[in-house]
A and B are shown apart, each in its own frame.
Chain A
Amino acid sequence: METDEELVRRTLSEGSHHFGVLIQRYADYLFGLGMRLTSGNTELAEDISQQAFMKSFTYLKSFNSQKKFKHWLTGITVNCYKDLIQKENQHLSLNAKDEPSYTPHLEGNIDFFNLIKPLTEDEKILFTLKYVYEYQINEIADLLNLKSGTVKSKISRALEKLK
């Protein structure tokens, strides 16, 4: 089986069809991350994972092969989630009075989604990456371009809220 880095190299030199293997490899992982961040909204999770793949293809040349492709992809997915939430909020504030309310299709572990409900978007992301995906503080800081201290303090604040 080809490694992620080899597939990235082949995508850049031979064409986008090699990227299809990477999409298949990480489709479930990104969808799962999207589901956890959106509290089980399947449509949003699918959108986020698709956006993340498209963005990662666009910026594939900037991928540093010294790092893990999965970590890089995780960072992109989190950014896509933030962008989508921002757009959703803008859309909601503009059309709140005009459009009927939309009920998304929700799936997954309701207990977990209820647990992280009181957290802010940033805290939700950091908490999920730390405790569900078991990323180290410095890894989270690296993939989200944050300082380790900031990540640590935000996670401890999130834990305080959940106690």
Chain B
Amino acid sequence: MNQLEAIIEKEKETSYSQRNKELFSFYTLTLINQEQASKRLKRKLWVSLLLITGGIFLLLSPINKMMNYFILILSNPSTVDIFTMAAVSYGFLFVLIVFLKKRISILS
């Protein structure tokens, strides 16, 4: 038992030191910061993915309704609807041509 106590006492007196404490501390802090940055990036990516998915879902649902509406109109054509659609299409085309002309004149 005395020998056991002597070995333990000797071990208590033994001191251990890191080879280069400054470097160890710097390196560990760098690793910690790296890990934190990676976690932040992952979190941002997940949030972005969630927002994009949500956005697409929100945008697609009215488009779907609009498509259904147009299909309904096209399947039951009436003169008024045809004239309305033609007016809307040509109106849209006119606005587009005016817009493009303006852009071309600005560029030239």
Chain A facing B: main interface SS = helix
Proximity string of chain B (11-50) to chain A, C-beta cutoff 8 Å, 1 when within and 0 when not: 1101111110110111111011101100000000000000
Please state if B18 and A28 are interface contacts (CB–CB under 8 Å): yes
B8 CB-CB contact with A under 8 Å: yes
Please state if A28 and B11 are interface contacts (CB–CB under 8 Å): no
Please state if A111 and B10 are interface contacts (CB–CB under 8 Å): yes
A23 and B8 in contact, given A28-B16, A28-B18, A108-B14 (Cβ under 8 angstroms): no
Please state if A54 and B10 are interface contacts (CB–CB under 8 Å): no
Please state if B15 and A112 are interface contacts (CB–CB under 8 Å): no
Q: How far is the CB of A115 from chain B (nearest CB, A)?
A: 5
Measured CA separation A50–B33 after assembly (Å): 13
Chain B facing A: main interface SS = helix
Chain B residues bordering chain A, tally (CB within 8 A): 26
A59 CB-CB contact with B under 8 Å: no
Measured CA separation A131–B9 after assembly (Å): 9
**Interface range on chain A (Cβ under 8 Å from partner):** 20 to 34
A residues bordering B, Cβ < 8 Å? 16-17, 19-20, 23-24, 27-28, 31-32, 35-36, 42, 45-46, 49-50, 53-54, 57-58, 108-109, 111-112, 115, 131-132, 162-163
Query: Which 9 pairs from chain A and chain B are nearest by CB?
Result: A32-B16, A112-B11, A23-B25, A27-B18, A35-B16, A111-B7, A109-B14, A31-B18, A57-B32
Between-chain CB contacts (< 8 Å), 16 pairs = A16-B29, A24-B25, A27-B24, A31-B16, A31-B18, A36-B11, A46-B24, A50-B27, A54-B28, A54-B31, A54-B32, A54-B35, A112-B7, A115-B4, A115-B7, A163-B1
